[in-house]
A = this chain, B = another copy of it.
Amino acid sequence: MYGAGDVRVENAPDPVIQQPTDAIVRIVRSCICGSDLHPYHSLPASEQGTPMGHEFLGVIEDLGSQVSGLRRGDLVVAPFAYSDNTCVFCREGLHTSCLNGGFWAAGGVGGGQAEAIRVPQARGTLVKLPVGEDSELLPSLLTLADVYGTGYHAAKQAEVNPRTTVAVIGDGAVGLMAVLSARRLGAERIILMGRHDDRTKLGIDFGATDVVPERGAEGVERVRELTGGQGVHAVLEAVGYREAYETAFGVVRPGGVISRVGVPQYEDAPIGFASLFGPNITLTGGPAPARAYIEELLPDVLEGRVEPGRVFDRTIGLEQVPDGYRAMNDRTALKVLIQP
């Protein structure tokens, strides 16, 4: 990406092992993330551009000398941050704060919207998948890289349980995964705030019990009506705009939780007596430690009990990636799968 709206497909040198803890992965499936749309809207133009993509699964082609537990030919999935899986933060399940970790497409590491990628901290980062390259489960398995883990993080941080009334803000892929996750954690009332029919229908399949298409003050009023005037115990905010945050504290119940996983496109926002403090609202969330959740979420995907891969509604090759961004930006595609 060379600037807002400027996505190009280019030949790049093949990645090679640089550290003994690296692996090289040939990418089998990748995708475009809702969060990729933020730079697509606002990235300053540059001469050198930046690689893109942070969700991929693929086959190990090469391994550094210190990587144990993995072999060439293994099909693996990578979370959207690499991590050693052994440091003090990883041991606490906060892999996104790994002392030796980092994010794709930054600091000399490539992006996942590519044919191949160098994976730092391969042993800690990559999780072997017990299926073949031709498995029909690949789209669902790919959601473990980010969107499913991110939706699940929202629900876990909000401590969703069978007694929790939930509102999910946003009907993008992460919002829909938040619905699926809240249902998995036992929530029996899940209000999905979104206005794209095809998406909210999928949300209902995933467990949403109510859909509120209204936004702003009207949306807040609808959710309050649906909850006897009191609001919901947990709001899972999967958008990232300040308006979504304001909706969140509009619909949350006193003593409730706002759990954010949409990357905030703002820094300052209301947190004083009139918003969070007076009614004892808890604000939580952040970049999901997707790595922490892969083993937990994997069995349901492998056994077909959940189908998070249904969020992909278009499949393209690498050459069509610029079209994929346009389609997601125009909301003509929910989430675009890339088959390099």
A interface list, Cβ under 8 A from B: 88-89, 92, 94, 96-97, 157, 230, 254-255, 260, 263-264, 266-287, 289
Tell me which residues across on chain B come within 8 A of A88, comparing CB atoms.
230
Question: Which residues from B are CB-within-8-Å of A280?
Answer: 94, 96-97, 157, 284-287, 289
Complex partner residue of A264 from B94, B96, B277, CB under 8 angstroms: B277
The prevalent SS among residues of A at the interface is mixed
- Closest partner residue, chain B, to A268 (CB atom): B268
Assuming the contacts A97-B254, A271-B271, asked whether A283 and B286 have C-beta atoms less than 8 A apart, the reply is no
Task: Tell me, in angstroms, the Cα distance from A280 to B157 when the chains sit together.
Answer: 10
Instruction: Give 15 new A-B contacts, CB below 8 A, not counting A157-B282, A268-B270, A282-B282.
Output: A89-B254, A89-B255, A92-B255, A94-B280, A97-B254, A263-B273, A263-B277, A267-B274, A268-B269, A268-B272, A277-B285, A277-B287, A278-B287, A279-B286, A282-B283
* A266: B residues at CB distance < 8 A: 272
Question: Which B residues touch A254, using CB under 8 A?
Answer: 89, 94, 97
A114 shortest CB reach to chain B, Å: 25
Which B residues touch A271, using CB under 8 A?
A: 264, 267-269, 271, 283
**CB neighbours of A283 from chain B (8 A):** 271, 276, 282-284
Report B-chain residues with C-beta under 8 Å of the C-beta of A264.
271-273, 277
Provide the bound-state CA to CA distance between A334 and B314, in Å: 66
A171–chain B nearest beta-carbon distance, Å = 21
Rounded to whole Å, the gap between the CB of A299 and the closest CB of chain B is: 25
Q: Which of A89, A263, A267, A279 has the most CB of B within 10 A?
A: A267
Q: Which residues of B contact A273 (CB under 8 A)?
A: 263-264, 267
The minimal Cβ–Cβ distance linking A189 to chain B, given in whole angstroms, is 15
- Closest CB of chain B to A135's CB: distance in Å? 32
Q: Are A275 and B282 closer than 8 Å at their CB atoms?
A: no
**With a CB–CB cut-off of 8 A, which chain B residues contact A157?**
280, 282
Residues in B neighbouring A94, C-beta threshold 8 A? 254-255, 280
Whether the pair B285, A97 counts as a contact (CB closer than 8 A) is no
Sample (18) of A-B pairs whose CB atoms are under 8 Å apart: A89-B255, A94-B280, A97-B255, A97-B279, A97-B280, A260-B277, A267-B271, A267-B274, A268-B271, A269-B272, A271-B283, A277-B286, A278-B286, A278-B287, A280-B287, A280-B289, A283-B283, A283-B284
